[in-house]
Amino acid sequence: MTDGLTERDHHSIDVARHYPFQRTESYIAERCYETAFKIYNPPVHNREPYTAARNLRQSPFYERERDLGAHFMEAAGWERAHGYASNEPLLEIYGDRIPVRENEWDNRHFWRVSNAEQLKLSDDVGMINLSHFCVIEVKGSDAEALMEYACVARVGGETPVGKGIYTHFLDHAGGVAADLTVLRLGSDHYRIVDGGDTGHRDLVWLRRLAESRNAKVAIEDRSEDFGCLGVWGPYSRQRLQSLVTDPSRLEPDAFPFASFRELTVAGISVLAFRISYVGEQGWELHFAYDDGLALWDALYSASITPVGIETYANSRRLEKSLRLQNADLLTEYNLLEAGLARPRVKPCDFHGRDAYLGQRQREQQPAYLCTLSMTDNRDQQRVPRYPLGHCPIVDPDTGQVLVDSVGRRSYTTSIAYGPSVGLNLMLAYLPAAYCEAGRPLRMEYFDETYPVRVEAVGHVPVYDVDNARPRS
């Protein structure tokens, strides 16, 4: 209230996060009733889904997913499959690499088939429903100037049309406020592809920024006009080439990484963006919502396996040390601490630039985001555990939770079992003095402590997709 900043990232109580449908009387009544029930009837599981106010936003191929036995969870109103019962035969192939979770709490709201789907994607090709993306379009004579000021990365100037840029919004203290990709569709036309949970908050912030700068722009939420399917895996190029009118356009030299092109896939117009959040080659295929069912059917007929969001949002991204906004990326931490700072700072002004330049002048940051693994996940009863949630990281010599030089405590920001490396993996900000690969630490989970090891400091993957084997 005094300086526009909160001591902790307040994303979970920021009213700007609510989409219009979440501000209706019926939605509020249903969610508030269920929330009150959860509060007064603990314990509530970390992954427990809401049952009220569901099925409000569905992909155009929702019925296909339902027929495949999708295990649906919800985010930003979208029904998202975390795994498909139809893929259970994959457990006959990969089951020996996927542990059975004996502890009920660790196994609740988790589907073992999800890990089999990830391994299938890594061996072949899979498609993941990403229609929950928030899609924001920015057009107008001041679109380039506004986007250049909003983003840390260069999105205007010499940035060519047809280029996609991974970038961030900062708050004015240099904290990470948004994590997204920006597609330059024209000299004065941009499309932002953002996470579903964070999208409306970022939309509100961008509109307020445009208003404060008197920018001549139109900023529109197009989330329900477009859908997206991610197609990834070592054979993604060959499989898509069998469906496009001109296969040569998908060759590496013709389609560089982080570029996008309009393609016709099985007669359907798509915007193909070559990028990956799962560490495998492939594309995001963006399409008009009404074309989604036909596209799904074409990809499915080409033997591309449906893969649930568990692989995308949790297990594989941790194997590749990829960050998630509102979990690993917070306004409490800066881009250098998160391991996402670019080698150079663009010459033009952007929001939070002065604070960011000050952070870059430090000899070292107070903390760094590290990847850790459990070296022994057996509890006192010798039952293997698969933790979830925010677990404190402890100094094994003192038994105290780690605290950095500015008073921030270390805990797991993300945690999941990685089937490709056979390890429980987690991300956590550690004080600079503890940021050393191989360093042993401890992690608390349900009043027990477990040995963990620092696998990597910064954005360094544990899983090396180039040679398809663990780094360590």
| Tens-digit pLDDT profile for residues 379-421 | 999 999 999 999 999 999 999 999 999 999 999 999 999 999 9
Per mean pLDDT, which range of 115-119, 139-143, 464-468 is the poorest? 464-468
Look up residue 6 and give its amino acid: T
Q: Is the pLDDT of residue 41 over 90?
A: no
Mean pLDDT of the chain: 95
pLDDT in tens, 106-130: 999 999 999 999 999 999 999 999 9
Kindly state the average pLDDT of the residues 210-236: 97
Average pLDDT of the segment spanning 429-447: 98
Return the pLDDT at 66. Answer: 98
Question: What average pLDDT does the segment 6-27 reach?
Answer: 91
Query: Model confidence over 361-378: pLDDT tens digits?
Result: 999 999 999 999 999 999
pLDDT in tens, 321-351: 999 999 999 999 999 999 999 999 999 999 9
Is the pTM higher than 0.85?
yes
**Does the pLDDT at position 467 exceed 60?**
no
pLDDT the model gives residue 465: 54
pLDDT tens sequence across 161-218: 999 999 999 999 999 999 999 999 999 999 999 999 999 999 999 999 999 999 999 9
pLDDT of 470 reads: 41
**Cα separation, 306 vs 229, whole angstroms:** 10
Q: With cut-offs at 50, 70 and 90, classify the pLDDT of residue 78.
A: very high
Q: Which residues on adjacent β-strands are paired with residue 70?
A: 84
Q: Is the pLDDT of residue 19 over 80?
A: yes
Question: What percent of the chain clears pLDDT 90, i.e. is strictly above it?
Answer: 93
Q: Hey, what domains does the chain have and what are their CATH numbers?
A: 134-221 (3.30.70.1400), 316-470 (3.30.1360.120)
